[in-house]
Amino acid sequence: MSIFDGLFRSRDKPSNRTAGSGYTFYMGGSTAGKLVTERSAMQMTAVYACVRILSESIASLPVHLYQYESEGNKAKAVKHPLYRILHDEPNPEMTSFVFRETLMTHLLLWGNAYAQIIRNGKGEVIGLYPLMPNRMTVDRNSNSQIIYQYQIQDSDAHTGKTGSVTLKPSEVLHVPGLGFDGLVGYSPIAMAKNAIGLSIATEEYGARFFANGATPGGILEFPGTVKNPESIRESWNKGFSGNNAHKVAILEEGMKYTPISISPEQAQFLETRKFQIDEIARIFRVPPHMVGDLEKSSFSNIEQQSLEFVKYTLEPWIIRWEQSLNRALLSETEKPDYFVKFNVDGLLRGDYQSRMNGYAIARQNGWMSANDIRSLEQLDLIPDELGGNLYLINGNMTKLQDAGIFANKENNNEKVLEVEEPDGAGESGESKPKHSDPGKNPVPERHHR
């Protein structure tokens, strides 16, 4: 028996709990007395908003398969069979957007995203189909190799199989979330069930308050003895609760009404609900302004918060996706030459003036051409004969090693020429250098600056 058998023998389904490495986080009842599951949590507006924002953000990013070329360049591998599956259509039943949105929703609710990989006889990927995480069990066989067991239901496509099917790691695209063992992620809903349960409780309290609360409400005082108090109470609730709330009450025979109800503001009901929205946004690391809480947002910082959302929230998810796709979909011979990459340039564009200033700096320093800029702005390219692909640089800039080239030329032109004697001074008629007499004024030497 392998040592791994005791550690990773059974992975319970996330539908009722998530477990691993000795830690168990049960789904279900919370300390607020409310049942918390993935589906009940999605009925909370804050949870639904966070899941929708992250799922749609990941799904809307362009994803491409690239191939390394010479000198460190890369190009889109559009002729590779995997390119169309990732970029356009992973299977005949859904688009790439819907596929990634579905898997990202599973990842946020259950902590794991699974998809079955369909290959042809050559081992090439020809299709990807999402699998429900609450029906997947990750286990190890007798040889300590990871296996995936999936429960088949009647709602699945008819494959002629019933019960459970065992899939090999090469047949499953698994994107795990945060976990303790690196193999299976844990559901954020299970981790934060008490915070979500409190949100459900406060929302239900508010719904009951406005649906069933009698308005006006308080104590009915009657001089003397009330023979049938239940009848009076039922008559009052029937006349002034529900759809009849806020109607004018007419009192008879000295009856007096004293309101004693506490408003939701006095009970800090609204503050509690607002805090729970921030609490849920904190779970998914989504800026509050993206779920409708603009209390701490302004025109001066909302753009910076959006950039931080891309950097600190989306970037870890993107890297998790990219590495899982590279590991599961590329063969060992393809991994040195190909890689999957999400493009986040569209989310980091900034406002128009900031983009133009950035393009101007890049253009003047020679690391972007006019066509590079126009392609980012979705504009038609300039033909080569008009200089669309030229990389320019300011004329007052040069390499550091050539910084003294003009100074050296100037010094060469100013070299001191030796003074020659008149003709016939030498025996052969050649001119000789004229030596200065120590007693006479020497020829002044020219000093270089």
**pLDDT digit string (tens) for 9-35?**
334 333 334 433 333 444 555 656 678
Most confident range (mean pLDDT) of 215-229, 394-408, 409-423, 433-447 is 215-229
When mean pLDDT is compared across 144-158, 223-237, 395-409, the lowest value belongs to 395-409
**pLDDT digit string (tens) for 46-101?**
999 999 999 999 999 999 999 998 777 888 999 999 999 999 999 999 999 999 99
Tell me: pLDDT of 195 over 70.
Answer: yes
Q: Which pLDDT score is estimated for 310?
A: 87
- Is there a domain that residue 324 lies in? yes
Tell me the pLDDT of the chain averaged across its residues.
77
When mean pLDDT is compared across 32-36, 114-118, 241-245, 356-360, the lowest value belongs to 241-245
**Co-location of 123 and 49 in the same domain:** yes
When mean pLDDT is compared across 199-213, 276-290, 332-346, the lowest value belongs to 199-213
Q: Which pLDDT score is estimated for 175?
A: 95
**Co-location of 236 and 322 in the same domain:** no
**Co-location of 95 and 228 in the same domain:** no
Both tokens of 34, joined, read 């409310």
Q: Which pLDDT score is estimated for 216?
A: 52
**Co-location of 309 and 242 in the same domain:** no
When mean pLDDT is compared across 49-63, 209-223, 248-262, the lowest value belongs to 209-223
Length of the chain: 449
Mean pLDDT confidence for 320-332:
95
- Is there a domain that residue 250 lies in? yes
Tell me: pLDDT of 154 over 90.
Answer: no
Mean pLDDT confidence for 147-165:
79
**Co-location of 300 and 225 in the same domain:** no
**Co-location of 192 and 289 in the same domain:** yes
Residue 408's pLDDT band (cuts 50, 70, 90): low
**Co-location of 206 and 333 in the same domain:** yes
Helices (H), 309-418: 315-329, 352-364, 370-376, 405-413
Q: Which of 233, 260, 287 is the last residue of a domain?
A: 260
Q: Which of 348, 381, 408 is the last residue of a domain?
A: 348
**Co-location of 86 and 197 in the same domain:** yes
- Domain hosting 230: range is 218-260
DSSP states along 213-255: -BSS-EEEE-SS--S-HHHHHHHHHHHHBGGGTTPPP---TT-
Mean pLDDT confidence for 388-407:
71
Q: What is the rounded distance in angstroms from the CA atom of residue 289 to the CA atom of residue 268?
A: 22
Q: Which pLDDT score is estimated for 22?
A: 34
Residue 299's pLDDT band (cuts 50, 70, 90): low
- Is there a domain that residue 316 lies in? yes
* Beta strands 172-176; 164-167: pairing state: unpaired
Q: How many domains does the chain have?
A: 2
Residue 263's pLDDT band (cuts 50, 70, 90): low
**Co-location of 204 and 313 in the same domain:** yes
Residue 244's pLDDT band (cuts 50, 70, 90): low
Q: Which pLDDT score is estimated for 410?
A: 53
- Is there a domain that residue 126 lies in? yes
Most confident range (mean pLDDT) of 99-108, 147-156, 363-372, 394-403 is 99-108
- Is there a domain that residue 246 lies in? yes
Q: Which pLDDT score is estimated for 89?
A: 95
Helices (H), 17-44: 38-42
Tell me: pLDDT of 193 over 80.
Answer: yes
**Co-location of 247 and 342 in the same domain:** no
Residue 429's pLDDT band (cuts 50, 70, 90): very low
- 132: CB partners within 8 A, 6+ apart: 106, 114
- Is there a domain that residue 151 lies in? no
Within 10 angstroms of residue 389's Cβ, the number of other Cβ atoms is 13
Higher model confidence: residue 389 or residue 16? 389
Q: What is the rounded distance in angstroms from the CA atom of residue 205 to the CA atom of residue 323?
A: 44
Mean pLDDT confidence for 392-415:
63
- Is there a domain that residue 108 lies in? yes
**Co-location of 268 and 256 in the same domain:** no
Q: Which pLDDT score is estimated for 191?
A: 87
- Is there a domain that residue 431 lies in? no
Higher model confidence: residue 197 or residue 99? 99
Q: Which pLDDT score is estimated for 40?
A: 86
Q: Which pLDDT score is estimated for 12?
A: 35
Q: Which pLDDT score is estimated for 190?
A: 87
**Co-location of 224 and 325 in the same domain:** no
Q: What is the rounded distance in angstroms from the CA atom of residue 385 to the CA atom of residue 333?
A: 41
- 111: CB partners within 8 A, 6+ apart: 14, 18, 133, 176, 177, 178, 179, 184, 185, 186, 187, 188, 190
Residue 379's pLDDT band (cuts 50, 70, 90): confident
